Structure 1
Amino acid sequence: MTASEKPNRTLFDLDLLRAMVMVADCASFTTAAARLHSTQSTISQKIRRLEEMAGHPLLVRGNRDVHPTDAGQLVLGHARQLLALNDQLLEALAGTTVAVTVRLGVPEDFVSEATSQLLGAFNRDHPQVKLEVTSGLSRDLANAYDHGELDLVLVKQRRSSRAAVRCWPETMAWIDSARHPSIDLDPVPLVTFPPRGLYRDDIIDAVEGMGRRWRISFTSSSLSGIQGAVADGMGISLLPARALSREHTVLGVEQGLQPIDSFEIALLHRATADPLVKTLASRLSGLIDQERAGAIT
């Protein structure tokens, strides 16, 4: 009797495997249930059935998230392959090419010509991939990633605030308008992101540390809005050095403003991410390395 002829051989249900992959990617039963248009109890039942079939615990349920056990990592790797093969079979029967969706999140200042060229080259190398790119504030991108809505993100954060695949120090610059400077006004007008936005507290703390009075003159969730407001003389701000334009002038110790070196760029994806997500992450890392090397030289 061959192995394939042995009685009572376990056959894993693809529906159960799909539930396992979704929970692992979302790190949440609730989010996974929503994305699968199911209920949390149903997803939990599917995971229990899969664990019974596997004979091992597959997921560790923590207070805030869910992550796979060693056996779960093994199951996830094979589950992704089986689900991909299933999708390939369905698409082959339909006479079309399998589409793999990669959901990428990047801050506004990374939406550049170089990034577009990189994504275009990646898409040509992997024509089966559908790229969904979201740009916005780092806090919103990180939140979407944590809720399983993005596969790969670049975010700006305080150094070592969370684990990442790669991190790079973020060079910051104090900026004012080149045509209508406002650093000498009293109180000093400040252009910032909204409350809880990155850099806002650092701007206020720095100006107060100078013994200067200040007021919030302009607030925006848009990087371009911040850049334009400073250029038009509405106040000073703190931004990544790459966001400066010829309409800005750089402030520093001569104006009483000390350098800020507490931020970094972080690249995030899950350990269980699809290989194509990891390939794109590697290319983004290379692009950032090249840009930083060019800035240094």
Structure 2
Amino acid sequence: MSAVLDIVPLRSLVAVAECGGFHRAAAALHITQSAVSQHVRKLEKVLDRPLVVRDGRRGRFTPEGEALLAEARRILFAHDEALRRLGVESSDGVIVVGSSEHAADQLLPEIATALRNVFPRRQVRFRLDRSGRLAQAVDNGSVDVAVVLSADRGEFAGMLPLRWYAAPSFRLPPPGEPLPLVVFDEPCALRRRAVEALSAAGREPAIACEAAYLAGILAAARAGLGVAVLAGVGGRPEGLVPLAGLPPIEPTALRIRVRAGAPSSLASVAASAVAQVVAGP
């Protein structure tokens, strides 16, 4: 068999999905946007079919692209776990930073700059994932430091403000009718915040769409399927607008988790960077 799926292009493909576009994927991977595009084209050439349809800085996955994305996640997980078990990852000068996707476009550059200032000879590599999986990765040592949504464990870094967002064409249903929500699948702190806020205000939530990653949430909300709760820092998500007329949502805590044996300053450096982002200008 001559066809080969290389690890580096697969990592770029996953980053496009998890970061919500080519531009953010490039920032997370610390490569150029053209390099990300080249990686995706390389995969398309191997499979001889389109995987991602470009839409400005964003990308819409084709059915074939979604299928490869699922395989890519499995391949990368097996690859990274193999390196960890063989003791390679700890000796190559890489700091692996895990981050929730929420506000990632603001958090990643700030964290990367802070870590490079303190560890100038170390390479910084990011892994974007759900908070629960990141916490597990910290515990098993495959991630050095992670920014997670958490109510308890880890060093407190700040409160992440939350807002309601919807497509410009979306109209709130009349009072008394269920409000369609676009949410992450469980467990999810933002989902719980949304349901609690609506229930406290006497509004009935109705789950219209569930997604595992931010790209799916954004796509469903842009399609007008319902209202999404997203981070309220930085610019508004492309194709969505803040939605008035709904109860305010309690912010959620951002905490820093660090693996056993990691440099003691990792937590404080990351926490300081996160605090600057959520504090705003």
State the TM bucket, normalised to the shorter chain.
0.5 to 0.7
* Aligned mates of 1:282, 1:128 — CA distance in 2: 19
* Aligned mates of 2:183, 2:113 — CA distance in 1: 33
Q: Determine which of 256, 262, 266 is the counterpart of 1:273.
A: 262
- For 2:93, the equivalent position in structure 1 comes to 100
Deviation at 1:223, TM superposition (A): 1.6
SS in 1 for 2:136: helix
Equivalent runs, 1:190-205 vs 2, <5 Å:
190-205=181-196
- Percent identity over paired residues: 21
TM-score between the two structures when normalised by the length of structure 1: 0.54
* Aligned mates of 1:157, 1:284 — CA distance in 2: 15
* Aligned mates of 1:258, 1:292 — CA distance in 2: 17
* Aligned mates of 1:191, 1:270 — CA distance in 2: 33
Asked if 1:294 corresponds to 2:270, the answer is: no
Which amino acid is the alignment partner of residue 234 of structure 1? L
CA RMSD for the aligned pairs? 3.4
Cα 1:143/1:167, change in 2 over 3 Å: same
Structure 2 residues without counterparts, runs of 5 or longer: 1-80
Which amino acid is the alignment partner of residue 253 of structure 2? E
Number of residues paired by the alignment? 195
Deviation at 1:201, TM superposition (A): 2.8
Which amino acid is the alignment partner of residue 156 of structure 2? R
Cα 1:232/1:176, change in 2 over 3 Å: same
SS in 2 for 1:149: coil
Asked if 1:148 corresponds to 2:141, the answer is: yes
Q: Determine which of 227, 245, 250 is the counterpart of 1:260.
A: 250
Deviation at 1:127, TM superposition (A): 5.6
Tell me if the contact between 1:100 and 1:128 (Cα under 8 Å) persists in the aligned partners. Answer: yes
Q: Determine which of 95, 104, 111 is the counterpart of 1:111.
A: 104
TM-score between the two structures when normalised by the length of structure 2: 0.57
Larger relative contact order, structure 1 or 2 (CA cutoff 8 Å, min sep 6)? 2
Runs of 4+ aligned structure 1 residues displaced above 6 Å come to none
CA-to-aligned-CA distance 1:149-175 (integer Å, 9 cap, x gap)? 2110100123xx22x233312212223
Deviation at 1:135, TM superposition (A): 0.4
- For 1:136, the equivalent position in structure 2 comes to 129
SS in 1 for 2:243: strand
Asked if 1:167 corresponds to 2:153, the answer is: no
- For 1:245, the equivalent position in structure 2 comes to 237
Cα 1:118/1:138, change in 2 over 3 Å: closer
Cα 1:141/1:183, change in 2 over 3 Å: farther
Structure 1 residues without counterparts, runs of 5 or longer: 1-31, 39-86, 88-97
Bigger-Rg structure (1/2): 1
